[in-house]
Amino acid sequence: MRKRKKTLPGVTRRQLLSYSAATFAIGASVGAKAATLTGAPGWQPFAHNPTETFAGQGWLFFNDKEVATLEAMVERFIPADELSVSGKDAGCVVFIDRQMKGFYGTFARLYREGPFQEGTPEQGDQSPLVPQQRYRIGLADLEDYCRQTFQKTFPELPPEQRDKILTGLEKGGIKLANIDAKLFFKQVLDNTMEGFFADPMYGGNRDMVSWKMIGFPGARYDYRDLIEQHNQDLHLTPVSIGGSEQWKTKG
């Protein structure tokens, strides 16, 4: 009787043959001459996972009163100076408005079942409120607070007073009626920073102002010729994923 060849414990003969074939293929590919790709890439950005786009112009989620308050907030988060325009002029509120209209505004891609309990700092945000609710409630509460305290709306207050209110929200010194003030503050601040530095195709970073400020060249396809040029100003004009002209935004 012919004896069967032994294989490793838990490994069938079919699997062993498959592994051998794969090893041979890898060895052959290592010995092959590497090819260098030149020219334009053979793919289009977001071909299989398109980004959300909105055909309508104007505000998609916020009303005019909410827009005025938000613009007054982001203008203090990122004030205009010798380096760049303000967060308002950079289109940060346009960015936030589009985010609220899309799946981010409802957390549609996140697990949304309870229980909702206060977590540790390492666990992050545990609030049951989605971003749309946080903005709608928070902006209304801020409006009420300012009218009751100063008899004015937030945008009507001088910059120094607005800064004090924002600091109070951040530190918890100011209490809002229907939402945690720190949660609301962080939501707006985080989205403002995202809008200021994100690709212009999402509505903010108008004319790539923040990229020009920090010298970021944008979504360029090939950097191989520049890898060895350390600590130099390469004088590269930033490039948006969607094209430098197509994604200029209007408030």
Residue 196 vs residue 217, higher pLDDT:
196
Q: CB neighbours of 144 closer than 8 A, spacing ≥ 6?
A: 177
Residue 172 belongs to a domain: yes
Can you give the pLDDT at residue 194?
97
| Mean pLDDT of the 35-43 span | 56
- The average pLDDT across 165-192 equals 97
Q: Distance (Å, rounded) from C-alpha 216 to C-alpha 164? A: 33
Query: Does 162 fall in a domain?
Result: yes
Domain assignment present for residue 170? The answer is: yes
- Structural domain harbouring 93: 64-112+124-226
Contact criterion met (CB below 8 Å) for 16 and 8:
yes
142 domain-assigned: yes
| Maximal C-alpha separation, the chain | 101
Distance CA 174, CA 76 (A): 17
Number of domains in the chain: 1
CA 133 – CA 179 distance, rounded (Å): 10
Residue 59 lies in a domain: no
Give me the amino acid identity at 178.
N
In a domain, 155, yes or no: yes
54-59 contacts at long range (C-beta below 8 A, 24 or more positions apart): 54/98, 54/101, 54/102, 57/250, 59/97
In a domain, 53, yes or no: no
173 falls within a domain: yes
pTM comes to 0.74
Q: What is the C-alpha to C-alpha distance for residues 167 and 77, in angstroms, rounded to an integer?
A: 11
pLDDT tens digits along 107-142: 988 888 878 888 787 877 888 899 999 999 999 999
Q: How far apart are the first and last CA of the chain?
A: 86
244 or 143, greater pLDDT:
143
